[in-house]
């Protein structure tokens, strides 16, 4: 028996011409006609291209095929080139995709660079790693100024490696949010695949961004931490959640309760309770880290309620980190020392031994020299369908009706995604929530469907905000896929393995 709940609101007037060309790929490249057509026909929401080449590289590959010496290359007819040019001009004005909120090159021109600019432009991948629930996804969202990744108070919210791209006229930073590092290889195949994503980021990234909290929560996997400590790649450390300083009480030096074993005592004693202690500890753990930046990645709730999304006040640490990665994105010269001073009085150990303060050259040399891999309005290689499934899963994690461990047994798959093609139509989404047991299905559905109805209401509101206010018809159903977290075919179907 399949239980379904449908939730919808009336849709505002939509531009039918724009809606007809609406792409299911976030920030799809607008550089070539072929890329736009392929992005419009996105089918598999689980597929992720970790290092998708730019349109320039695609054209080089196509033209790199060996040709016979006796054959001459035929040029396209002039009328064909004229038609393509007209199509490019018309589709360049298309605004149906979700754009990046970063300034990038919109005011300075196209991202196509000359040979001399290519020699100065820098581009690289930055892998974000850390223990679960350290705020890695929140940090990525703050850097992008976009709620791209779901973030909850529960650990292990992130299951996939998610790419987010920051672009400026001189640099492009490809940030990769990874699942929280677990002990060993995980308890089942899903967690093992999540750890493979973390190891892949360590291997393929040009810069590593380690995220911890004010309590200096360690990376629980010895192998992954060993790779971090031995790498020659640039490392930045973020001490997140410094707003908790002073709220947590340091344990007394007296004998602890008999119920606490020695491991718990040792773990408690390793915690840090001030920013200075956290910086000193991570400087000792990763002495080669270029900088250890204290910050609070999550915006102040009182500020976000009064201000619009673009006017939310950022912590100075976020501003500094973004400038280190891509610069200010403005015409004026970057001023890294000024951003460092905005943090307040320097904490001993913030910078690598021999560095008194970060300079503009330190920021410019962080990423390797190379042309941009993506166009300036590119935000992520994941599709809208994928992010909608993640928002439904976020609603499950936040539901007060579900037991603590139950949402971890759930997986969401979008089965139908129809964009509005006429005015006053709704975006129609159908999704299936998979669980592992019949008993779990009964809990997710709830008595008379009350639980799944509440989950659907929350999820629909999240999706509508993500789609910039578009009204959504959301239909949810619950099915059982027994032990899907342990089966290779199920993990492949859900996009966790290939």
Task: Specify whether 139 is located in the same domain as 235.
Answer: yes
Residues 6+ apart with CB under 8 A from 277: 216
For residue 449, what is the domain's CATH number?
3.30.300.20
Task: Specify whether 389 is located in the same domain as 341.
Answer: no
**pLDDT recorded at residue 361:** 92
Query: E strands of 99-251, at which residues?
Result: 122-130, 162-167, 171-177, 207-213, 235-240
* Residue 449, strand partner residues: none
For residue 293, what is the domain's CATH number?
3.40.50.300
pLDDT tens track for 98-119: 455 555 444 444 445 455 555 6
Mean per-residue pLDDT, 169-190: 93
Task: Specify whether 331 is located in the same domain as 224.
Answer: yes
Say whether pLDDT at 13 is over 50: no
Task: Specify whether 227 is located in the same domain as 166.
Answer: yes
Write out the two tokens for 155: 């650990």
Residue 423, domain member (yes or no): yes
Question: How far from the centroid of its chain's Cα atoms is residue 66's Cα?
Answer: 39
Among 4, 3, 15, 2, residue whose Cα is nearest residue 470: 15
Task: Specify whether 334 is located in the same domain as 407.
Answer: no
Task: Specify whether 321 is located in the same domain as 398.
Answer: no
**pLDDT recorded at residue 410:** 96
Torsion angle, alpha carbons of 179, 182, 185, 190, to 10: -40
Residue 411, domain member (yes or no): yes
- Residue 49: pLDDT band (50, 70, 90) is very low
pLDDT tens track for 291-332: 999 999 998 766 555 455 556 789 999 999 999 999 876 655
Task: Specify whether 405 is located in the same domain as 484.
Answer: yes
Task: Specify whether 335 is located in the same domain as 212.
Answer: yes
pLDDT tens track for 70-102: 444 455 566 666 776 666 666 544 333 445 555
**pLDDT recorded at residue 341:** 94
Residue 195, domain member (yes or no): yes
Q: What is the largest CA-CA distance in the chain?
A: 89
Instruction: Give CA–CA dist 261/154, Å, rounded.
Output: 25
Least confident of 132-141, 299-308, 424-433: 299-308
Say whether pLDDT at 22 is over 80: no
Mean per-residue pLDDT, 346-354: 93
Mean per-residue pLDDT, 5-19: 41
Task: Specify whether 193 is located in the same domain as 242.
Answer: yes
Task: Specify whether 338 is located in the same domain as 440.
Answer: no
For the beta carbon of residue 80, count every other beta carbon within 10 angstroms: 10
Residue 229, domain member (yes or no): yes
Mean model confidence pLDDT for the chain: 80
Could you give the C-alpha distances from 96 to 13, 19, 25, 420, 468, in angstroms and in order? 14, 7, 11, 12, 11
Residue 105, domain member (yes or no): no
Say whether pLDDT at 3 is over 80: no
Task: Specify whether 413 is located in the same domain as 355.
Answer: no
Query: E strands of 299-447, at which residues?
Result: 411-418, 427-435
Can you give the residue range of the structural domain that contains 199? 120-247+273-300+313-365
Backbone angles phi, psi at 479, to 5 degrees: -130, 160
Residue 201, domain member (yes or no): yes
Task: Specify whether 288 is located in the same domain as 422.
Answer: no
Q: Report DSSP state, residue 480.
A: E
Query: E strands of 22-89, at which residues?
Result: none
Residue 77, domain member (yes or no): no
Domain count, the chain: 2
Residue 172, domain member (yes or no): yes
Query: Do 453 and 447 form a contact (C-beta atoms < 8 A)?
Result: no
Instruction: Give CA–CA dist 135/131, Å, rounded.
Output: 9
């Amino acid at each position: 028996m399949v239980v379904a709940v449908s939730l919808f609101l009336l849709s505002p007037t939509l531009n039918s011409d724009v809606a007809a060309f609406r792409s299911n790929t976030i920030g799809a490249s607008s550089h070539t006609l072929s890329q736009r057509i392929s992005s419009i026909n996105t089918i598999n929401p689980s597929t992720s291209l970790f290092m998708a080449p730019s349109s320039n590289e695609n054209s080089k590959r196509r033209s790199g095929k060996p040709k016979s010496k006796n054959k001459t290359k035929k040029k396209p007819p002039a009328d064909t080139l004229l038609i393509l040019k007209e199509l490019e001009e018309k589709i360049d004005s298309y605004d149906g995709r979700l754009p990046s909120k970063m300034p990038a090159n919109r005011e300075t021109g196209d991202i196509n660079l000359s040979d001399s600019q290519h020699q100065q432009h820098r581009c690289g991948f930055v892998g974000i790693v850390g223990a679960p629930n350290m705020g890695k996804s929140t940090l990525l969202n703050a850097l992008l100024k976009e709620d791209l990744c779901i973030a909850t108070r529960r650990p292990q919210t992130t299951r996939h490696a998610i790419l987010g791209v920051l672009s400026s006229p001189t640099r492009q930073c490809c940030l990769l949010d990874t699942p929280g590092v677990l002990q060993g290889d995980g308890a089942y195949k899903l967690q093992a695949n999540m750890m493979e994503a973390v190891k892949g980021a360590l291997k393929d990234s040009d810069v590593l961004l380690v995220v911890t909290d004010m309590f200096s929560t360690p990376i629980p996997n010895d192998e992954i931490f060993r790779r971090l400590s031995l790498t020659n790649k640039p490392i930045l450390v973020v001490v997140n959640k410094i707003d908790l300083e002073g709220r947590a009480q340091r344990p007394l030096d007296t004998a602890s309760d008999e119920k606490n074993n020695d491991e718990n005592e040792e773990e408690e004693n390793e915690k840090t309770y001030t920013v200075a202690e956290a910086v000193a500890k991570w400087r000792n753990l990763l002495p080669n880290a270029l900088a250890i930046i204290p910050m609070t990645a999550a915006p102040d709730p009182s500020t976000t309620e009064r201000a619009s999304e673009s006017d939310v006040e950022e912590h100075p640490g976020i501003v500094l980190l973004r400038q280190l990665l891509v610069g200010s994105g403005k015409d004026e010269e970057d001023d890294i020392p000024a951003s460092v001073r905005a943090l307040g009085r320097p904490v001993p150990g913030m910078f690598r031994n021999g560095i008194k303060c970060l300079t503009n050259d330190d920021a410019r040399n962080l990423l390797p020299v190379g042309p941009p891999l993506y166009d300036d309005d590119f935000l992520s290689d994941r599709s809208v369908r994928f992010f909608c499934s993640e928002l439904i899963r976020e609603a499950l994690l936040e539901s007060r009706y579900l037991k603590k461990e139950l949402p971890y047994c759930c997986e969401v798959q979008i089965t139908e995604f129809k964009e509005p093609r006429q005015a006053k139509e709704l975006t129609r989404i159908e999704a299936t929530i998979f669980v592992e047991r019949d008993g779990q299905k009964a809990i997710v559905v709830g008595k008379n469907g009350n639980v799944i109805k509440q989950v659907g209401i929350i999820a629909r509101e999240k999706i509508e905000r993500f789609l910039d206010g578009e009204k959504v018809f959301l239909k949810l159903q619950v099915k059982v896929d027994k032990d899907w977290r342990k089966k290779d075919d199920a993990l492949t179907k859900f996009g966790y393995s290939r």
